[in-house]
Amino acid sequence: MNKTLIIAQREFTSRVRKKTFLLTTILLPLLFAGFYFAIIWFSVKGGDAVKVLVSDRSNVFNGNLKSDADVSFHFLNQATEQQLADSINAGSFNAYMYVPEHFNNATDSIRIRTAKSLGLLTKEKVEKRINGQFQERKMLTLVSQAQLDSVRKDANLDINPLKSEKKQDKSGAAYIVGMASGFLIYIILFIYGTMVMRGVMEEKVNRIAEVIVSSVKPFQLMMGKILGIGAVGLVQFLIWIVLSVVIRGILPSLMGMDEQTSNAMAGAATQVPTTGLLAQIESLNIPLIIGCFIFYFLGGYLLYSSLFAAVGSAVNEDPQDAQSLMLPITMPIIFAIVIAMKAVNDPTSNLAVFGSLFPLTSPVVMMARIAHGIPDGVTTMQLILSMVFLVIGFLGTTWLAGKIYRTGILLYGKKPTWKEMWKWAFRKN
């Protein structure tokens, strides 16, 4: 055990001291934050406002077209179409709209001309604003404004499980937290599992493993590499969390955003109404979610990294051999994220329950279910069974990978296959 810890310490320190570790750990959150705020900033701010000059000679709109920061309407009802065109050419307005006298909706058209081609989204905003107001004016000829407002009012819906009538609806927050947690573990399993495999391949190709196994057992070498690289991933992950919180707090002020703009950006990013979202998040069982995330992060990493290490020990210089052997390992991870997309919407479905109990998919799927809480998303018994099965799965894959690793790390010049690796695993020696 002492030798395993020495190897783990060596793997940890050698990677943490590299410049690439510092660059990816610090610059990656900054890069993602920059993209995040740039995309949301432009989606909230949009482009330049479109100014439309309107000549409504038939008084179809009664001088009333709603304007906002994106599209503004300015009425000049007595202007001719030529005068409108001159104003556009002078650059005072971006477009004009002309409603002819004695306008007939069945035969006549509302003419809109622009100084230059409008973007698809801008064009849709203008059309939506005009059509909405036009339809409202037509309906007001049949009913009163009060009746129209009454028809448009949505029903007050109270949707909650029967056993949770008095609880606050938290489906929006549970969806965001569950999907984000599951996807994060999905990415971690790929990144750090591949890192373990490449580390084993490098030592085998450079013949370093031959020297190391003369003083330590192959199983100790494999576990040392897994624990060391896993510690690197855990430290990097914790640093990312701290930096993300700090960046999220200070970047709006650095960019000169007020509180309203910052909230609008957050709403655009999540695509969920911000009203009550913070209250929903506060109603989630955050300690349970964090605890489960740490457990499934560690359990999933240990399970898959042992398999990746086995593949790395079997292949030689050709990276294509590793890619072909990785397919049976990566397929369950991909399958897990597909199940998670369904589980986050329907956490009690049979597929979600199976995915959260099966060790190869449970690290991702269970995080999608646990966000809904106990017992709405997952029962206590299912959570316990999932953890037990994951531990058993880790022990099983570690034993299997250790047998493969012991033979493969010292084998050269032979193209490996899963059939051959299976023989190594169950060889009696």
CATH topology of domain 48-144: D-Maltodextrin-Binding Protein; domain 2 (3.40.190)
Q: What is the pTM of this model?
A: 0.64
Tokens 């695509």 appear where? 271
Domain boundaries defined on the chain: 2-42+170-425, 48-144
Name which of 66, 77, 71, 72 is nearest 99 in CA terms.
Answer: 77
What's the pLDDT tens digit per position in 180-221? 888 888 888 888 888 888 877 777 777 776 677 677 777 777
In the DSSP assignment, the letter for residue 164 is: G
Name which of 79, 46, 45, 77 is nearest 60 in CA terms.
Answer: 77
Q: Helix, strand, coil % (nearest 5) of the chain? A: 65, 5, 30
Q: Give how far the C-alpha of residue 152 lies from the chain's centroid of Cα atoms, to the nearest Å.
A: 34
Contact 365, 352 (CB under 8 A): yes
3-class SS at 226? helix
Q: What is the mean pLDDT of the chain?
A: 77
139-148, 267-276, 420-429: which range is least confident on average? 267-276
Edge-to-edge strand ranges of the sheet holding 111-114: 71-75, 50-56, 95-99, 111-114
What's the pLDDT tens digit per position in 107-155? 777 888 888 776 666 777 788 878 877 777 777 667 676 766 676 666 5
What's the pLDDT tens digit per position in 302-357? 899 888 888 887 776 666 667 778 888 889 999 999 999 888 888 888 999 999 99
Contact 178, 369 (CB under 8 A): yes
In the DSSP assignment, the letter for residue 271 is: T
